[in-house]
Chains A and B, each alone.
Chain A
Amino acid sequence: MTTLTDPPKEHFRLSMLLYDTRYRSATIQVIALIGFMLLAAWIISNTIQNLEALGKPVEFGFFGEPASYDINQRLLEYTSRDSHLRAAFIGLLNTLVVAVLGCITATIVGVLVGVLRLSNNWLVARIMTVYVEMFRNVPVLLWIVLAMAILIEGLPAPNAFRGDNPTATMDLFNSVAVTNRGVYIPEFLFSRGLGDIHLFGASSIRFNVSLDLVAFLVVLGGSIFAMRKISGWAAAKQEATGDRPTIWHIQLGVLFVPMIILLTVLGFHLGYPELKGFNFKGGTHMRNSLIALWLALSLYTAAFIAEIVRAGILAISKGQTEAASALGLRPGRTMRLVILPQALRVIIPPMISNYLNLTKNSSLAIAVGYMDITGTLGGITMNQTGRELECVLLLMLVYLCISLSISAVMNWYNNRVKLVER
């Protein structure tokens, strides 16, 4: 029989914070934390004090003042009488446009190049290697400037389209004008449109929602829902009878018929660009600053994405490919059904940081005069009001929010595709 006696209860003494290994690391960490916070507080108070001494206390009242400058690319209506906050909002939308367009294009190009780099065709694989090495080893700013220079110097000015014997002509049955001021493409117009809803009254984030677009999206959503129901029905029938009914013509009908009816009712037609005065009028104007930035950012980031995709594919053991071919799958289907789904779990995490990079690199927009948020809030507004600290802090906050949103979405997606281990 053994008796257990409690060890003598040790009383906590202050010196134990330093000499007792159980507490020592905590002590050091707390001291370091306090030191760090003191340093941060000193920097902040020093900044505020110095700004006060300069007579420029930190305040954000200038955002309500009229911006007084014009912005060429504006997704929402904006005039020079709108506030600085509105200008910043327009800039933010421009940043988002180029970021979204860039991420989509970079992903498509990147995946294609990544797969092709592993091609058995020597020439194709080498060409892709050259592409990747060229783009990722030159700073993206140079690519942006180069793309802009090519667009400006290489394409005809709107002037060249003028006269009886023009040196340049419009493409695609006179519907697209490619000029050195941008590309004019036909726009969608509705002669019996439903009008707009105005949201947020007169605040700086006010915007109009086109009811035509809403109606279109509702019909499209309904059609897709119906299509899924139909294929569900077909699958159920296949399970029950072993015979899959032909449904593709019904699917097409469900998809297109309601849409065509809706477009006819709304009086849908295309508005073509036309040379009037100094410039083309009508149609949608994609400025060459947007095109240059978009192209350069997506091709640059695509080079990195290609490498990530290649790494992801190579990470899947050869046995998988062999097993798939043993089952009789063709190479294309092996890639699509066996390799890529497994590769995704390796690919997604580094992909997030590339999307973030692309978004942050879009702040180089000012090099080509694209009015993103760095150009409006961090450029003209900052310069005209002289509120450097406020503008830069706000700018950092905006990029932080955009980046965190991208990462949240991508992490959610990553959790969905990652390998479920049992």
Chain B
Amino acid sequence: MKKSVILGMATVAGLAAGAAAAGTVDDIKARGKLNCGVTTGLVGFAAPDANGEWKGFDVSLCRAVAAAVLGDASAVEFVPTTGKTRFTALASGEIDMLARNTTWTFSRDVDLKFEFTGVNYYDGQGFMVPKALGVTSAKELDGATVCIQTGTTTELNLADFFRSNNISYEPVPIETNAEAQQQYLAGACDVYTTDASGLAATRATFEDPSAHVLLPEIISKEPLGPLVRHGDHEWGDVVRWTLNALVSAEELGVTSANIDEMSAGTDNPEVNRLLGTEGTLGEMLGLDANWAANAIKAGGNYGEIFATNIGEETPIGLARGLNAQWTDGGLLYSPPFR
């Protein structure tokens, strides 16, 4: 008798938990914190600084979303995930969104039941080798030992690349970027391969970055973007349009410097709609009218985030390249705020 009561209670609790999982935005508001999955440490993208505060390109996106939903860019709980643990963490609800230079692929989107809410960095897989090896092309890597982060798309691209070029290699699977760096620097592998942006970020932390070269071959398309679970479209919309707001802000010339001035109202109706002085876009998302303004204030528009974290002025020194606005010949193209 007692047992069935306990069972019944457990069932009810289980159902209640299932029902509560639907409204992620409400959950975040109730919790007062956004749980955001990031890497275990990749300087420029997501890594704690000297004060233990998370900084980086992906981190800025988390902060922008937190600012849009909660109005507070610091209300983020950063959850470090490895290539292996990230999807389980997201699927199980441990994190609300994943911003961990994750490649948008068909099977992750469709089979793993995730929703990619856009692309925040267009990347491709590259190779880094010590300059002393004298290698100038990835096709000369026959027989090389290659360090690779396990559980990533790079692992699969690598197998395909070497197979289709009919050359052999020796993979050394590694869990985290830090371990890969250690093995690469000790000479336990000749080559380190991951996304070209990650390679640049890793090289920037070396004692002598000039002793290492990135090979010209980019062997894959790696559109990196934030993702959420299937099933909660309202939440997916919030993340998608926060990213779009950052991109649009750059296109429309809204920066963290002039945003207060612009929030007072401008002649450009799209800026007004974006910043909430006109229309009800925020309400439609279930957020405050100034959600996008908060998101932009958190770290600036897309261009500012790029420049402060990974741009040419930083040690990582990535050019905008594909990640320039469409008006500048890049791929960044936000749908209109209308």
Contact = CB atoms under 8 A, between A and B. Distances in A.
Interface of A: 31, 35, 38-39, 42, 46, 50, 53-56, 68-72, 79-81, 152-153, 157-159, 180-181, 276-279, 281, 288-289, 366-367, 369, 371, 375, 379-380, 383-386, 388
Contact of B173 (A281, A371, A385): A371
A54 B115 CA distance: 13
Nearest to B142: A277
Contacts of B211: none
B183 A152 contact: yes
Contact of A80 (B3, B142, B160, B172): B160
Given A38-B3, A386-B111, 9 more contacts: A31-B3, A38-B4, A42-B11, A55-B113, A279-B145, A367-B175, A384-B151, A385-B111, A386-B108
Interface of B: 3-4, 7, 10-11, 14, 18, 83-84, 87-88, 91, 107-108, 111-113, 133, 141-145, 150-151, 155-156, 158-160, 162-163, 169-175, 182-183, 186-190, 230-231
Contacts of B111: 385-386
A46 B13 CA distance: 12
A203 to B, nearest CB: 22
Contact of A180 (B108, B170, B171, B186): B186
Question: From DSSP, what is the main secondary structure of chain B's interface residues?
Answer: mixed
Contacts of B143: 276-279, 281
Given A46-B14, A79-B163, A157-B186, A383 B173 contact: no
A386 B158 CA distance: 20
18 contacts: A39-B7, A42-B11, A53-B18, A55-B113, A71-B171, A80-B163, A157-B188, A181-B170, A277-B142, A278-B133, A279-B143, A369-B172, A375-B173, A380-B150, A380-B173, A383-B87, A383-B150, A386-B91
A50 B92 CA distance: 11
B160 A38 contact: no
A55 to B, nearest CB: 5
B19 to A, nearest CB: 11
A72 B10 CA distance: 47
Interface centre among B88, B111, B158, B160 (most CB of A within 10 A): B111
Nearest to B152: A383
A109 B112 CA distance: 47
A55 B160 contact: no
Given A369-B174, A383-B83, A55 B186 contact: no
B188 A152 contact: yes
B173 A369 contact: yes
A21 B91 CA distance: 52
A296 to B, nearest CB: 16
Contacts of A276: 143
B37 to A, nearest CB: 14
Nearest to B1: A31
A35 B3 contact: yes
B3 A384 contact: no
Contacts of B14: 46
B150 A369 contact: yes
Contacts of B158: 70
B156 A69 contact: yes
A384 to B, nearest CB: 7
Contacts of A81: 163
Nearest to B111: A386
Contacts of A68: 156, 159-160
Contact of A379 (B10, B150, B163): B150
A380 B91 contact: no
Given A54-B91, A278-B190, A72 B170 contact: yes
Interface centre among B84, B111, B188 (most CB of A within 10 A): B188
Contacts of A379: 84, 150-151
Nearest to B113: A55
Contacts of B155: 69, 380
B113 A180 contact: no
Contacts of B112: 386
A56 B186 contact: no
A383 B113 contact: no
B85 to A, nearest CB: 9
Interface centre among B141, B160, B163, B170 (most CB of A within 10 A): B170
A384 B156 contact: yes
A44 to B, nearest CB: 13
